[in-house]
């Protein structure tokens, strides 16, 4: 009896150890990935802020590090030496409960601390994090520390995506239109013929929101029932070819297609094409992480905002899906696709699929839904500073689903809710159409 | 057989005639009400625009008249003589399909046409409308003309409410703080002791949206099922006394209570109290249609925006209701209360009610809900220009329910959806708290 | 001896009496003129503010009255009863030393006090002013009171000009383009052939600035010497025909003609023609106090700002005169012309003059000079609140000379210095060219 | 005869050679200085733009190089290979005649070309410039090429000063307040006791503007006569101690001291102290090129704008000098002082001087004059693109004289006219008081 208890205990220890090592491994991979993503960028590229919405690479690198230092190392690692008391001011994002900070639209003024110092900051914190694992502070009964590591990994993944979209914004704002990476071979550009098929889903009451044991954000909970009417969903995203047809048909000039705010926005900004599109000698090009290239007609349109997505749907006689339609339709589909893991970093034409099968649900482009970003029934923000996270943005934004070509692999879920303001379009945001099945 | 057929036909005619006369009567009452509401105002008061959101009284009077001329008289009354070709430019609101128009934020520049000419315009159109009835063009088989009259009446009712809220905005912006009307005796100001009771409602699937035969806006349809969890609703609105407690407790200074956009907004605008509140010798006063008076502690708080409503709910440990919770809870309650029909023109303290009974659901103040203003499943805008109405505003706004103290009687419904941007607070907008019943 | 002394004294008394009555007469005429100018305007016209720079007519009527009440009646008329304590807040313009006031860009919100009340205010103050004369408070040894009356008359004359230019701005901002007055017969429109003659003036040291016994503003003093080089001045102002040639030659599209700030301003505002010019069916019209009429080719161009005046001069290979060149050249020319006294209220084509004679120096249009508006050497602002007048504007503005078609007769002088910012063009501001005679 | 002609010719050749070599030497020194000034800055420091007025260091380095390439190498050096066709777009400043360019307020977005490439650009152009000398293209009879080199050197000197002031602006905008250089020993800080002496100068007619054979800007010409009244000039600049007295006396809170535009500006910006002043624990510090240090009371106040200078003079019962008073008073004083040549890079306390002697006239701080920046009588801009330089800024700015602690040695002259808008204060701009001597 005793021995069996011992055995059991040893197995548990081994398993915990293994969990702990797995977590440490994921943490280190995640930390390394940020640095890999920054590697093609010069120090100069890393310091400049192209617009208020987009932060400098250096800031992303430091802020994700500050997160661990603030929420894990300083409160929980005995004897931890803060890297620099100035950094909290420089690299806090919006945690009001954590004091004053560099204003968001002034993050690009921080030439100091330098990129090199930020690298030093990362090394210092990484070393302490590893020490925390090795010395057993993680998983030694202090509940919740592993959860903070998990949150930190996911937080950094979000900033990895932003690092790439913000760099694209920066490079587009420059006359030289530099490329972040050398062009990769692209999938066949000709497969844009043929209309999207609309796949039907039955109505009913369905559970939505996260369930299970892994990580999720607080805004994916609580799981609850949603009532859906029968609907149909396009089997693929709207392509650049289709978007050009919309443009050619005067889509940007017909006020009846647009929400009133959208009509004001496109006129105030002079928008008559998706973000990063530029005409060169009469041909539409798009700025990509591979530089300025002709628009790939077969690929999904990207960098359209909610107003544009909505106007396109009106023009097409369809509508956008709700976030729950999207979530239910994605049941059983693996949360992977053309994400950052493929290394392509551009939305790709839809692959041939079996009839009646959804494609491009994960990766390629975030898909605008018609759902406002609101708390789920019974939503409660996590307690403390870490809870000052998703809830405070729950107004005036719309939900996007499915991840993009620059979402780190493993980060996305069926229940994942991204959100942006209806005018924003610097993300890889696109459109999948829906319609009532009644 | 024949006679019975004749009888039947005669009865139908009589009924139709009666319907037609009832409609004409309502139309004329509605037209007269606008003029009555404008009567206390000088020509000067009627021309000035206090801010972009609020239109001059004269503009309201003319725009509601332009509506009939454009959608009814010009297309459907043979021989109708347009009053002036210039007026379409001056008094179109936002119908893009009806041509260019005076920009919204420049409506207050229109000293011409004069208030007198607008009166002439109204008389001209009123005469033609009456002729249309008398000559039988309405209800003579041209389907839909009566529906346009009905829409016109409801449209004018909305502008009657705006005429009053916009006048209040104008009068508040002036150093003299003039009164629109002489003070009416107010209900007992002392009954603000005692906390609100929270009344429980069961969950389930409920039909929401308009059904029946009367008028409704397109945004109230189609009727559809909604799934609710059990919830509780406060039996009355939040009072000024409760709002003062929130202020005294530092409610406007604690960022953790606020949505991020709300925190930015109150700081950018220096808001630290509801709209129209002013301190005089250390005492909070509020600007009302009766002039500047001390805050009535027992009355519902008004002129708070969504951000404020949400922050207050957080502070109180409650939440705002969804629009469907509000709609289901109001089942069986007559859509009447302290609306414009009482002539009080100020929110009043809640009357004593039976235990477990909701009060103040209709009238007093519009109640912010946590629901974003979105189309119902299957929503289709009405065809043609008249459909360019509710649908184009379905983004970035929140739904309010229940009407206010300046909503014309008969205008409000259980299914009625009003909507404003989260920062707006020049309407009589207030708060009713809710909580989960789980 | 005694009798002669008595005689002398009586003569002095008579003369003083006569001076006093003359001043009273002028005061009353001036007060009446303001009301005459407002007479064609409805109450609505009088309350609205078309832009920040332009004030409502009612405000002009009240502010000029407040001036007398504040600087004359309240401090110097025993027993004077202030009309209303609120009016100081409403109608102070910019006298920081006289307390808080309605912000300049919010003057158009004041629907109360009404135009009628302002009329009552004027009557109340006029009565008190007359009483002050009759009772001998003016000219009875209280030095300076007559000077304040004189200043008040001149102050009101300035506002009479503004009343008209601000009304023109208001009427231009409206789709109906109403006329302030019925058209007057205009001088021959064909006399715009023939280039302007350039009349030569010698260099030397000349006294500039005001001297003599009448009224002048503090900014015209002290008289001092100025050193001029020989120069030539165009015998008339630049005409609309000449301006059209500038436009046809691409004047608004060639950056090399423009000051850098001017180039920014015309592009930011989309200016490609003088103020109040509108194309109707391919023909340039201009908004005038007589309504929208075809451009009078022979008349002086008006409503151009300093940037435009400067660019035109560059295009013409000339330059603008300095204020002292203008002042010296005007020596011996009577300070009268097509001012408000003619009642034409529009700039008129230059009359034939003798060879070598300047025309249009006074009236028609204010003439931009190249001189910055700066204090004269030894300038001292008058003491007290009245001195808070001209001096505080002595930066970033340019001097204009000569008065316009809406300057009240008797108001202008050779030494008179008007001043506006280089971007402003709602005044009747035009151009006279100059060149070096070397 | 022949031999003497030959001799003469040989001497001329030798002299020309010597001139040419001297010019080349100065050119190379000037080019080297820019790089020395950039040396303490990281690549990150060199790319960021702290505000619209201030350009990145890299941009200064490249723009001064573009100047030579555009105006000298491309038109005049046969076979010159343009470094990159993209650079014209990136590094043109405001030469409208030289095509489109990166907008001024977006210069900080140019992470590419990199600082390294700009170094390559400089080397490429420097090599070509040297070749142009060596091969005899300069001074070989192509009149004007040496003049363009001279202009280029002066142009680069201006940008050297801006490089330092813009870096100071950048470093002040950062929470870490980094130092550009290590602190140098400062002159005695205690010598701020004693009022400034006012030195009298007679009136009369004086020639002003440039004369002589060296270089000057077109705005310093033509030399012409100016008429001055007797005046007095303070022997030194206003000190920080005196400015603190102004602040302590409520100088920033008394509207009567301020120009109307100035009063608006200080209130809109919340200015209550000179630029770069910060309170730390109740003690005023100032951001300098040596970092954030306590205010040096004896040193001249710097980073005050025209409004502040004017208000201070009013408070002190004095006035600012005119630019010609300054110029005449400086007659006979060597154009040198605490300029960049001392390497101190901060304004220094006035040295003891002989009685009746002006100090600090050159170097330390630019001195605001009351003179508007206007063309001199007879001014003509240089022909062609190079003339698009000083003239286009001649409106709404004021003249400053005397150079600052970061003006390159040899750059300043008695007749030198610097100019800034009245609200600007990121330059080392200070105050010397004047008064009438009458």
Q: Tell if the CB–CB gap between C174 and B115 is shorter than 8 Å.
A: no
User: Residue A122 belongs to what domain range?
Assistant: 2-172
Q: Classify residue B221 by burial, with Cβ atoms within 10 Å: 0-12, 13-18, 19+.
A: middle
* pLDDT at B2 (0 to 100): 45
Residues D315 and D430 in one domain: yes
First to last CA, chain D: 64
Across all residues in chain D, what is the average pLDDT?
A: 92
**C54-93, pLDDT tens digit by residue?**
999 999 999 999 999 999 999 999 999 999 999 989 998 8
* pLDDT at D356 (0 to 100): 84
pTM: 0.95
C173 and B CB contact within 8 Å: yes
A380 and B CB contact within 8 Å: no
Among C12, C17, C11, C14, CA closest to C146: C17
**Alpha-carbon gap, residue B300 to B365, rounded angstroms:** 7
Residues C162 and C273 in one domain: no
C290 with C346: CB under 8 angstroms?
Answer: yes
Four-CA torsion C358, C359, C360, C361, nearest 10 degrees: 30
Residues A404 and A295 in one domain: yes
Residue B179: inside a domain: no
Q: Tell if the CB–CB gap between A227 and B229 is shorter than 8 Å.
A: no
Q: Longest C-alpha distance within chain C, in Å?
A: 83
pLDDT level of residue A2 (50, 70, 90 thresholds): very low
What angle is formed at CA D68 by the lines to CA D62 and CA D69, rounded to 5 degrees?
80
Structure tokens belonging to residue B64? 């509601």
A93 and B CB contact within 8 Å: no
> Three-class SS of residue A346?
coil
Predicted confidence (pLDDT) at residue C186 exceeds the cutoff of 70: no
Chain B residue numbers with beta carbons less than 8 Å from the beta carbon of A396 are 261, 396, 422
Interface test with B, best of C45, C100, C109 (most B CBs within 10 A): C109
Residues B144 and B292 in one domain: no
> Three-class SS of residue B399?
strand
Q: What is the CATH number of the domain that holds A206?
A: 3.90.1580.10
Q: Kindly tell me whether chain B and chain D come into contact, counting contact as 3+ Cβ pairs under 8 Å.
A: no
Residues A250 and A384 in one domain: yes
* Residue pointed to by tokens 């154009």: D335
Among C166, C51, C174, CA closest to B109: C174
**D124-162, pLDDT tens digit by residue?**
999 999 999 888 776 655 568 899 999 999 999 999 999
First to last CA, chain A: 64
**Alpha-carbon gap, residue A219 to A214, rounded angstroms:** 15
Chain B residue numbers with beta carbons less than 8 Å from the beta carbon of C47 are 44, 47-48, 111
For D223-257, b/e burial (b = at least 16 CB within 10 A) is eebbbbbebbbbbbbbbbbbbbebbeeebbeebbb
Neighbours of C123 (CB within 10 A): 14
Q: What is the CATH number of the domain that holds A56?
A: 1.20.120.450
Residue finishing a domain among A172, A189, A221: A172
Q: What one-character DSSP code corresponds to residue C224?
A: E
Give the lowest-confidence range in A296-310, B13-27, D192-206, D275-289. Answer: B13-27
pLDDT level of residue C8 (50, 70, 90 thresholds): low
Residue A13: inside a domain: yes
Provide the shortest C-alpha distance from residue C166 to chain B (in Å): 12
Among D373, D398, D227, CA closest to D306: D398
Residue finishing a domain among B135, B156, B172: B172
A173 and D CB contact within 8 Å: yes
* pLDDT at A143 (0 to 100): 61
**A206-251, pLDDT tens digit by residue?**
999 999 989 999 999 999 999 999 999 999 999 999 999 999 999 9
Predicted confidence (pLDDT) at residue C28 exceeds the cutoff of 80: yes
D50 and A CB contact within 8 Å: yes
Neighbours of D158 (CB within 10 A): 16
Residues B165 and B202 in one domain: no
Question: Which of D205, D255, D388 comes nearest C227 by C-beta?
Answer: D205
Residues with Cβ within 8 Å of D109's Cβ and at least 6 positions away in sequence, in order, are A48, A50, A170, A173, A174, D49, D102
Structure tokens belonging to residue C137? 């408070």
* pLDDT at C7 (0 to 100): 61
**Alpha-carbon gap, residue D14 to D32, rounded angstroms:** 27
Residue D182: inside a domain: no
**D221-249, pLDDT tens digit by residue?**
999 999 999 999 999 999 999 999 999 99
Q: Do strands A224-228 and A204-208 pair parallel, antiparallel, or not at all (unpaired)?
A: antiparallel
Range list of β-strands (E), A229-365:
231-234, 277-280, 283-288, 291-294
Residues with Cβ within 8 Å of A122's Cβ and at least 6 positions away in sequence, in order, are A31, A34, A35, A61, A62, A65
Q: Do strands D224-228 and C291-294 pair parallel, antiparallel, or not at all (unpaired)?
A: unpaired
Q: Kindly tell me whether chain B and chain C come into contact, counting contact as 3+ Cβ pairs under 8 Å.
A: yes
Residue C48: inside a domain: yes
Q: Do strands D291-294 and D224-228 pair parallel, antiparallel, or not at all (unpaired)?
A: unpaired
* Residue pointed to by tokens 């165009």: C234
Q: What average pLDDT does the segment A349-362 reach?
A: 88
Question: Which of C47, C48, C175 comes nearest B102 by C-beta?
Answer: C175
C361 with C402: CB under 8 angstroms?
Answer: yes
The total domain count for chain B is: 2
Give the lowest-confidence range in B89-103, B208-222, C169-183. Answer: B89-103
**Alpha-carbon gap, residue A302 to B231, rounded angstroms:** 41
> Three-class SS of residue D425?
coil
pLDDT level of residue A91 (50, 70, 90 thresholds): very high
Residues D79 and D44 in one domain: yes
Question: Which of A112, A115, A170 comes nearest D178 by C-beta?
Answer: A112
First to last CA, chain B: 63
Q: Tell if the CB–CB gap between C436 and D393 is shorter than 8 Å.
A: no
Chain C residue numbers with beta carbons less than 8 Å from the beta carbon of D394 are 259
CA dist A168 → A173, A187, A275 (Å): 9, 21, 11
Chain A residue numbers with beta carbons less than 8 Å from the beta carbon of B229 are 224, 377-378
* Residue pointed to by tokens 């050159």: D362
First to last CA, chain C: 63
Predicted confidence (pLDDT) at residue D2 exceeds the cutoff of 50: no
| Cβ within 8 Å of D, C 215-234 | 224-227, 229
Residues A355 and A221 in one domain: yes
Neighbours of D262 (CB within 10 A): 23
Residues A432 and A295 in one domain: yes
What ipTM was estimated for this complex? Answer: 0.94
Chain B residue numbers with beta carbons less than 8 Å from the beta carbon of C113 are 176
Chain A residue numbers with beta carbons less than 8 Å from the beta carbon of D110 are 174-175
Task: For chains A and B, count residue pairs whose Cβ atoms are closer than 8 Å.
Answer: 80
Residues C208 and C96 in one domain: no
Neighbours of C235 (CB within 10 A): 21
Give the lowest-confidence range in C308-322, D174-188, D258-272. Answer: D174-188
Residue C159: inside a domain: yes
Q: What one-character DSSP code corresponds to residue A319?
A: B
CA dist A310 → A257, A313, A318, A433, C404 (Å): 8, 5, 9, 10, 55
A331 with A306: CB under 8 angstroms?
Answer: no
A325 and D CB contact within 8 Å: no
Range list of β-strands (E), D209-332:
224-228, 231-234, 277-280, 283-288, 291-294
Q: What average pLDDT does the segment D82-103 reach?
A: 86
Chain A residue numbers with beta carbons less than 8 Å from the beta carbon of B317 are none
Q: Tell if the CB–CB gap between C48 and B178 is shorter than 8 Å.
A: no
Structure tokens belonging to residue B309? 């409503």
Residue finishing a domain among B157, B172, B187: B172
**Alpha-carbon gap, residue C38 to C58, rounded angstroms:** 8
Provide the shortest C-alpha distance from residue D53 to chain A (in Å): 15
**C305-322, pLDDT tens digit by residue?**
999 999 999 999 999 999
Residues A242 and A101 in one domain: no
pLDDT level of residue A1 (50, 70, 90 thresholds): very low
Q: Classify residue D431 by burial, with Cβ atoms within 10 Å: 0-12, 13-18, 19+.
A: buried
C29 and D CB contact within 8 Å: no
Structure tokens belonging to residue A7? 């055995």
**Alpha-carbon gap, residue C12 to C20, rounded angstroms:** 12
A395 and B CB contact within 8 Å: yes
Residues B288 and B237 in one domain: yes
Residue A217: inside a domain: yes
Residue D188: inside a domain: no
Residue A186: inside a domain: no
């Amino acid at each position: 009896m005793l021995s069996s208890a011992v055995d059991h205990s040893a197995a548990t220890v081994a398993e915990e150890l293994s969990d702990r090592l797995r977590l440490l491994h994921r943490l280190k991979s995640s930390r390394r990935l940020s640095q890999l993503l920054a590697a093609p960028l010069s120090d100069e590229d890393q310091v400049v802020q192209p617009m208020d919405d987009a932060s400098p690479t250096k800031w992303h690198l430091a802020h994700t590090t500050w997160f661990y230092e603030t929420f894990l190392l300083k409160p929980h690692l005995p004897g931890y030496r803060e890297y620099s008391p100035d950094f909290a001011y420089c690299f806090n994002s919006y945690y009001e409960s954590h004091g004053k900070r560099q204003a968001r639209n002034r993050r690009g003024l921080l030439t100091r601390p330098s990129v090199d110092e930020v690298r030093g900051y990362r090394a210092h914190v990484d070393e302490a994090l590893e020490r925390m694992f090795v010395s057993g502070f993680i998983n030694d009964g202090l509940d919740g520390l592993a959860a903070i590591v998990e949150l930190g990994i996911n937080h950094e993944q979000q900033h990895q995506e932003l690092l790439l979209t913000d760099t694209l914004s920066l490079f587009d704002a420059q006359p030289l239109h530099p490329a972040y990476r050398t062009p990769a071979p692209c999938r066949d550009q000709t497969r844009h013929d043929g209309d999207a098929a609309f796949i039907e889903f039955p109505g009913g009451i369905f559970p939505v929101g996260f369930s299970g044991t892994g990580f999720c954000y607080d805004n994916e909970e609580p799981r609850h029932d949603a009532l859906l009417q029968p609907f149909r969903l396009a089997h693929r995203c709207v392509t650049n070819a289709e978007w050009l047809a919309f443009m050619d048909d005067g889509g940007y000039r017909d006020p009846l297609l647009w929400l009133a705010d959208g009509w004001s926005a496109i006129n105030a900004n002079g928008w008559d094409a998706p973000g990063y599109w530029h005409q060169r000698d009469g041909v539409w090009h798009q700025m990509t992480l591979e530089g300025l290239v002709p628009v790939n007609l077969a690929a999904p349109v990207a960098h359209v905002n909610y107003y544009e997505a909505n106007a396109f749907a009106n023009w097409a006689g369809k509508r956008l899906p709700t976030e729950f339609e999207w979530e239910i339709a994605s049941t059983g589909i693996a949360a992977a696709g053309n994400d950052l893991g493929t290394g392509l970093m551009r939305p790709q034409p839809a692959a041939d699929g079996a009839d009646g099968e959804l494609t491009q649900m994960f990766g390629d482009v975030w898909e605008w839904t018609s759902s406002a970003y609101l708390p789920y029934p019974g939503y409660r923000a996590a307690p403390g500073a870490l809870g000052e996270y998703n809830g405070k943005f729950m107004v005036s934004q719309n939900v996007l689903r499915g991840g993009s070509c620059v979402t780190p692999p493993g980060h996305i879920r069926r229940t994942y809710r991204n959100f942006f303001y209806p005018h924003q379009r610097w993300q890889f945001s696109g459109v999948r159409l829906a319609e009532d099945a009644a």
